[in-house]
Amino acid sequence: MPLSNSKVADDGSSAQPQREGQAMVDSLTKVVACYRHLASCIGGSTDSTSLRQELRQTREHAQTLAVSCRNHLTARLRDKTLSEEDRKETELQWVAFSSCLELFHADMCKVYHMGSCFSVAKKSAMVQTGLQGGATEVAARALSMPNLQEQNGEQTASMEGLDQSQLEQEIAQVDRTLEDMEMKVNVLRWTVEAKGPQYADPVSVDSASLALLSGDEEGGFCDRSQMFVLLMLCGVALVAVVLSVCVVYLA
């Protein structure tokens, strides 16, 4: 039937930009998540020039992603020839994109505020939060690079000031983008329905940090008993091995 054939053909060609949009939104989500982790280290014991640089790089990457995502999605939504299903999908992506942008805006405001309070030069004024390692791996994940090049060079006060003013401009830009999005694109949020499940599946049971956290409260008691059980099992295994060797020897 020519009609259904053409439909299949259409789906084949329109799935491509759909998947593109989804991929862009996914990568933006990833970058925003990493930015949040980086932002939570500011002002703490691991705050340093490299952290600020990582923040800047992540932010710039997120901005470029956001611009391209917005252009793609606005073009898709303005397209009148979109089918009903495709439009629903695009609207979902649009909601995800704008929520991402809002989170990013909030994080940027916080980083700006804290950056002006905590200058990297005065290391003694930082809060002792108990963090030890840097967040370089998180930044690497955000920028999708296997390892970040070490950017050396002391960040002087003027460079920091430059960074802050740039951040201010970018915050204003994202603000304008959000306003434009709300006014100009007509996506009715009460018609958008989520497709996914209510509970996210556990990605992988992280027993190590769980044990650490529960040990936090109850002290080392539980872990000591676990160690004892482990030792017992090892002892039993050893005895079994020795017995089998004896049997083999005697037999």
Partner 1 sequence: MTIKLIRDHGQHYRPRMACLQKLEAMVLEMQSGVKSSEQKLNITSIPHVITGEDILAWIANHMKVDTQEARTMGTMLVAYGFIYPLQDHKRLILKPDGSLYRFQTPYFWPAQKWKVDDTDYAIYLAKRNIRKKGSLDVYEQENYNKLHKWLNYKWDFIVMQAKEQYRAGKERNKADRVVFDCQERAFWIVHRPPPRTHSAMDYGVDRLIDPNVEEKKTFDYYKRIIIFTQQAIMRPKVKSTVSLGALVKFMTTYKGHDPFLAPCLPSNPWQTDDDTYWELNMRSVETPTKMRVERWSFSFFELLSDPRGRADFKVFLKKEFSGENLAFWEAAEEMKWGAASSINEQAQTIFKTFLAPGAPRWINIDGRTMGLTVKGLEHPHRYVLDAAQTHIFMLMKKDTFYRYLKSPVYKDMQKKSLSPAPHTFTDSQLEQNARNRKPGIDPIIIWQQEEEERAKAAAAAGPIDIKKLMASKLDRK
Single-letter code of the amino acid located at 129: T
- Using CB under 8 A, which residues numbered 224 to 243 contact partner 1? none
Do the Cβ atoms of 4 and 72 come closer than 8 Å?
no
Number of residues that bind partner 1 (CB under 8 A): 78
- Give the nearer residue to partner 1 in terms of CB position, either 210 or 243: 210
Only segment of 3-11, 68-76, 107-115, 149-157 that touches partner 1 (CB under 8 A): 107-115
> Hey, which residues between 75 and 104 contact partner 1 (CB under 8 A)?
92, 95-96, 98-100, 102-103
Contact between 108 and 36 under an 8 Å Cβ cutoff? The reply is no
Q: Is residue 106 a contact residue for partner 1 (CB under 8 A)?
A: yes
14 or 98: whose CB is closer to partner 1?
A: 98
Question: Could you tell me which of 80, 75, 79, 82 has the C-alpha nearest to residue 11?
Answer: 82
Q: What is d(CA 69, CA 90) in angstroms, rounded to the nearest whole number?
A: 12
- Tell which positions 142-201 bind partner 1, by CB under 8 A: 142, 178-179, 182-183, 187, 189-190, 192-201
Radius of gyration of the CA atoms of the chain, in A = 26
According to DSSP, residue 44 is labeled S
| Of 6-14, 69-77, 113-121, 237-245: span binding partner 1 (CB under 8 A) | 113-121
User: Residue 65 or residue 135: which is nearer to partner 1 going by CB?
Assistant: 135
- Residue 211 vs 242, nearer CB to partner 1: 211
Contacts for 36 with CB less than 8 Å, ≥ 6 apart: 103, 107
d(CA 40, CA 42): 6
